[in-house]
Amino acid sequence: MARDLAPGTVHRRGRLRVYLGSAPGVGKTYRMLDEAHRRQDRGAEVVVGFIECHGRRFTEGLVDGLEVIPRAHRSYRGAEFEEMDLDTVLARRPSVVLVDELAHTNIPGGRNAKRWQDVEELLAAGIDVVTTVNIQHLESLNDVVRKITGIPQRETVPDEVVRRADQIELVDMAPQALRRRMAHGNVYKAEKVDAALSNYFRVGNLTALRELALLWVAGRVDEGLRDYRAAHSIDRVWETRERVVVALTGGPEGETLIRRAARIADRTAGGDLLAVHVSRSDGLAGASSGALAQQRQLVETLGGSYHVVVGDDIPTALLAFARAHHATQLVLGTSRRGRVNRFLTGPGTGQTTVDASEDIDVHMVTHEFTGRGRLPALGRRHSKRRTIAGYAAGLIVPLLLTLALSPFRSTLNLTTDALIFQLGVVAVALLGGALSALLAAFIASVLLNYFFIPPLHTLTIDEANNIVALVVFATVALAVSTVVDHAGRLTTRAARATAEAETLSTLAGSVLRGADALPALLEKSRTAFGMDSVALLDSLTGETIACSDAATGGADETEGQESTEVAVGERAVLVLTGRRLPAADQRVLTAFAAHVGAALERDRLAVAAAEVEPIKAADRMRTALLAAVSHDLRTPLAAARASVGSLRSPEVEFSPEDQAELLATADESLV
């Protein structure tokens, strides 16, 4: 009996189960029928919408006991064909329907061109569907299968249709076992076995198809795992698949790190290689846009992907990127800083990353440039640790100088003492910046007055020249601090401009290539600005044109977060959701929006060009037709014109017979 929905019942979409075969003959249909019997034994209402047994007796035996919907008969080019009767199945409305060969192309006469479109109608009607498809029929693998087997697959199904399935089960078999099954006549008839074994079903072909199927299903399983982790708010890394992130600074050690990371990723099948470069406001030592471009090309050659993110704290940005992409391993190069540099600046990016990595394995790779870096540049902005060290030095250095100079009070004059204190203030400025230097200058002025300017051990000054010396000392200290701070700001601006140039260079070099520029631009915008999602919306209707979401993000997670909007042309707006975007990033964001607008316009022109192409083809056909017609008309018209011209000529007198013949010729030519 057909199922009727009770009043008030909420209509649900049917569930889709797909048996994905690595090759024909591995037993997809057999497994599907076996499941149908199990469901029927449990009380489910199962019918056979369409089954193709190909004369295999074991498969045909499993059809017995199941209700089979009669097939629809259609005539096409003088031949009779059988197809699934979609209307009858919809009217019957069973719990479960079996539909074999999902990629099949329907015979003209029905309302859908493809069988997978019939399945979509069944699912929309709330009917569960169990179906089968082979890996070579997936659209994304069509060209790969053709290169492997040499046989083009004309019937394909979009990958997204299969990916949306609620359950996908891989039906696999070792190549040797499948060839034995064929040799025993369990797949094809005897007259076809030899040709099949020597062509499509060679061991190499079957092995390659099997690997394609395993990798495709592994990707689908990975999507399911990611959705599960997001739904259950699981942030810790599950090492189900190796994902190796290599951090690039643009330094000369980059190629060594990339190759080492690629070898780590290749140790397991399906391992991913991701290279990331962090552009920050205070720059990266030795960063070179040319070197980064070469390293990006090497990464892509090795099958990896290249990313650029913006972050002021490199270890935090690296680990955030790694966790967002579920990385299991992070590859860093050992520091190029020398011992003096490490002593002055403390632990570097590598050690800080290791301390905060938690469940991500960090590989510190040695290279030939280890310890060959330069001393830290003067005047740059400092880390939190170095800033604290600067304030501490501003307190301690004047005290130490006072203790050191007090025994020599009778030997050294005030000018020498002031110069030594001035040297200490400059050292504090180089270490901690302007504020710590101002603190040191104030304390040094007080100590200099109290311990070295008569009368001693008081804050009063008797001689006018000592007052001048103290004022000059404070003025020079203030000037040095200001110069150091100004140099730091200039260096920061220059480094920021360099970082923006690197980001835009990478954008132009790696995103605007190929036909998928718009999705790639949105993904690059999201990763570059560290946002959770980026969407391109129609400014008039509010509809989403394209979007890019973080791997761990969901729609619910973006509620309540900051969003930034920028106009893209006259009819679109780019919306970035996540953190609050600093004003300094607005200029780069505007450049991204311009690229998005160009990509959107290119897509529009491509659509317009595609619409014009049939018109151009029709014009070419019309021109060819007119040329052919004019050629066919030219000869008889010329004959008629010659006959009439001869009759009108006053120079020749034609006999009645000749005139009649010329008129007859003209008449025949104009008919």
State which of 69-73, 283-287, 316-320, 579-583 shows the largest mean pLDDT: 69-73
pLDDT of residue 7: 47
CATH H-level, domain 16-231: superfamily: P-loop containing nucleotide triphosphate hydrolases (3.40.50.300)
Q: What is the pLDDT of residue 495?
A: 61
Q: What is the 3-state secondary structure (H, E, C) of 64-99?
A: CCCEECCCEEEEECCEEEEECCHHHHHHHCCCEEEE
Question: Higher model confidence: residue 568 or residue 275?
Answer: 275
**Hey, what CATH class is 243-365 in?**
alpha beta
Structure tokens at 376: 């830290």
| pLDDT tens by residue, 157-183 | 988 898 888 888 888 888 888 888 777
Q: Can you tell me the distance from the alpha carbon of 436 to that of 243, in angstroms, rounded to the nearest whole number? A: 44
Q: Which residue has the higher pLDDT, 215 or 405?
A: 405
pLDDT at 132: 94
Do 16-231 and 243-365 fold alike per CATH? Answer: yes
Are 259 and 475 in contact by the 8 Å Cβ rule? The answer is no
Of the chain, the percentage scoring pLDDT greater than 70 comes to 72
| Residue of 629 and 88 predicted with greater confidence | 88
> What pLDDT does 391 receive?
84
**Which whole-number Å values give the CA distances from 242 to 268, 303, 308, in the listed order?**
7, 14, 21
Residue ranges of domains in the chain: 16-231, 243-365, 384-488, 519-605
Residue 228 has pLDDT above 70, yes or no: no
**Reported pTM:** 0.41
Report d(CA 239, CA 202) in Å as an integer. 35
Query: What is the arithmetic mean of pLDDT over 331-342?
Result: 67
Q: Is the pLDDT of residue 503 over 80?
A: no
In the predicted structure, residue 634 carries a pLDDT above the cut 70: no
How confident is the model at residue 89, as a pLDDT? 93
Please answer whether residues 596 and 536 qualify as being in contact, where contact means their C-beta atoms are separated by less than 8 angstroms.
yes
> What is the rounded distance in angstroms from the CA atom of residue 665 to the CA atom of residue 659?
10
pLDDT band for 285, please (50, 70, 90 cuts). very low
Quote the pLDDT of residue 41.
Answer: 92
pLDDT for 505 beyond 70: no
Q: Which two structure tokens, joined as six digits, stand for 258?
A: 């990339």
pLDDT for 126 beyond 90: yes
pLDDT digits (tens, 9 = 90+) for 554-607: 444 445 567 777 777 767 888 888 777 665 566 667 777 777 777 777 777 777
Looking at residue 554, its pLDDT comes to 43
DSSP class of 582: P
Peptide bond into 175 cis (omega under 30): no
Given a cut of 90, whether residue 95 has pLDDT beyond it is yes
pLDDT at 96: 95
- Answer whether residue 551 shows pLDDT above 60: no
pLDDT digits (tens, 9 = 90+) for 508-527: 555 555 446 677 777 777 77
The mean-pLDDT minimum among 42-46, 66-70, 176-180, 370-374 falls in: 370-374
Least confident residue range of 66-75, 114-123, 201-210, 237-246: 237-246
Could you give the CA distance from residue 526 to residue 221 in angstroms, rounded to a whole number? 25
Per-residue pLDDT, 548: 77
Q: With a cut of 80, say whether residue 302 has pLDDT above it.
A: yes
Q: Which range is most confident: 83-87, 512-516, 530-534?
A: 83-87
Pairing of strands 544-549, 533-538: antiparallel
261 vs 346, more confident: 261
- How far is Cα of residue 432 from the mean position of the Cα atoms in its chain? 41
Confidence of residue 130 (pLDDT cuts 50, 70, 90): very high
565-581 burial: b if 16+ Cβ within 10 Å, else e: ebebeeebbbbbbbeeb
Alpha-carbon span 292 to 242, nearest angstrom: 24
- Please give the pLDDT value at position 38: 92
Residues 6 or more apart whose Cβ sits within 8 Å of residue 83: 50, 71, 72, 74, 106, 107, 109, 110
pLDDT digits (tens, 9 = 90+) for 433-459: 777 877 888 888 888 778 877 777 777
Locate 662 and state its tokens: 């010329």
Q: Looking at the predicted structure, is the pLDDT value of residue 658 above 80? A: no
Sign of CA dihedral 83, 85, 87, 90: negative
What integer is the mean pLDDT of 648-658?
A: 73
**pLDDT value at residue 311:** 77
Please tell me the predicted confidence (pLDDT) of residue 323.
83
pLDDT in tens, 4-58: 544 444 468 899 999 998 888 888 898 999 999 999 999 999 999 999 887 787 8
**What is the pLDDT, as a whole number, of residue 270?**
59
What average pLDDT is seen over the chain? Answer: 76
Highest mean pLDDT among 122-131, 242-251, 503-512, 584-593: 122-131
Please determine, looking at this structure, whether the domain spanning 519-605 carries the CATH number 3.30.470.20.
Answer: no
Phi and psi at residue 22, in whole multiples of 5°?
Answer: -75, -20
**Strand, coil or helix: 46:** strand
